[in-house]
Amino acid sequence: MIHDRAAYISGLRDLADFLDTNPDIPTPCQDVTAYYMPDRAPDSQMCADVDKIAAYLGSQIDADGLPGGHYRTSIKFGPVEYRAVAVLAKGRARYQADGSYAGCVVPDGPDV
């Protein structure tokens, strides 16, 4: 999905201004993460896209996501984070395999 960059930035600013000028409105109780995910392509191409973003951000690739098939980097602004994530073929295959059992397993026990 392609987003209008100017509209996205304007919306973020409008939200910040709204919260700033309405101190009685509570802020969210959890951190906020804005995700960018490259279009599906060969893993090497998606990783190169995330590497380019990491260079702009001055951040490293988050190795914690690699075993699960997520190649990612991020930068935080207090409780607000910008994260770029490439879901690699390994991660997509695992997700698809997990979903293939949907509706096939019925637990024993009384009906709820």
What would the pLDDT profile of 43-98 be if each residue is shown by its tens digit? 999 999 999 999 999 999 998 888 888 999 999 999 999 999 999 988 887 767 77
Q: Is 9 within a domain?
A: no
Mean residue pLDDT of the chain comes to: 89
Q: What confidence category does residue 112 fall into, taking pLDDT thresholds of 50, 70 and 90?
A: low
According to the model, what pLDDT value does residue 104 have?
A: 76
Integer Rg of the chain from CA: 19
Query: Number of folded domains in the chain?
Result: 1
Q: Is 10 within a domain?
A: no
pLDDT digits (tens, 9 = 90+) for 8-44: 999 999 999 999 999 999 998 999 999 999 999 999 9
Q: Is 24 within a domain?
A: no
Q: Is 72 within a domain?
A: yes
Instruction: Domain of residue 38: give its range.
Output: 30-99
pTM, entire model:
0.78
Do residues 80 and 32 lie in contact, with contact meaning Cβ atoms separated by under 8 Å? yes
**109/83 Cα distance (integer angstroms):** 42
**What angle is formed at CA 69 by the lines to CA 103 and CA 48, rounded to 5 degrees?**
135
